[in-house]
Amino acid sequence: MLNRFMLIVVFVPLAIILIALAVANRELVAFTLDPFNPGNPKLTLTLPLFIFLFLALAIGMIVGSLATWVKQGRYRKLARQRSVEAENLRQAVRAPSVPQAPVQGSAQGSAQGSALPKPTN
């Protein structure tokens, strides 16, 4: 339901605006990477303006996504640690509890064994 709402309210108007910009900005523009010699043909791209707009949008989305991913790294690390701890606890609960038998050769084991009363039926 929320996905459909986002599609209708956000993405459809955004798509309409981007298509309108692409149709209105079909003229060729020069994009120069050399600020000291703008006429340098080796460092100048001539493309329609809407391509530059879409490239700027895509680069902005990629940079923003990377910044968010880096900033949230500590939360992912904490989640991984908690997941490992939870799995360790699950395994500890699933493992059958094995009573430890007294050691045969020690004096404590034999003393404890003789001190226990024998069960009566």
Residue-wise pLDDT for 1-18, tens only, equals 788 887 788 888 988 988
Q: What is the dihedral of CA 85, 88, 94, 96, to 10 degrees?
A: -130
Per residue in 19-57, pLDDT (tens digit) is 888 888 889 988 888 888 877 888 888 999 889 888 998
The pTM score is 0.56
Helix H or strand E segment including 110: helix 107-115
Q: Is 93 helix (H, G, I), strand (E, B) or coil?
A: helix
DSSP-assigned states of every residue in 14-78 = HHHHHHHHHHH--SEEEEES-SS-TT-GGGEEEEEHHHHHHHHHHHHHHHHHHHHHHHTHHHHHH
pLDDT reported for residue 97: 64
Q: Span 68-74, mean pLDDT?
A: 94
Q: How far apart are CA 56 and CA 63, in angstroms?
A: 10
Lowest-confidence region among 60-64, 71-75, 95-99, 106-110: 106-110
Nearest to 55 by CA among 89, 78, 21: 21
How far is residue 53's CA from residue 75's CA, in Å, rounded to a whole number?
34
Q: Across the strands, what pairs with 44?
A: 32
Q: What is the mean pLDDT of the segment spanning 98-119? A: 59
Report yes or no: 28 and 44 within 8 Å, Cβ to Cβ. Answer: no
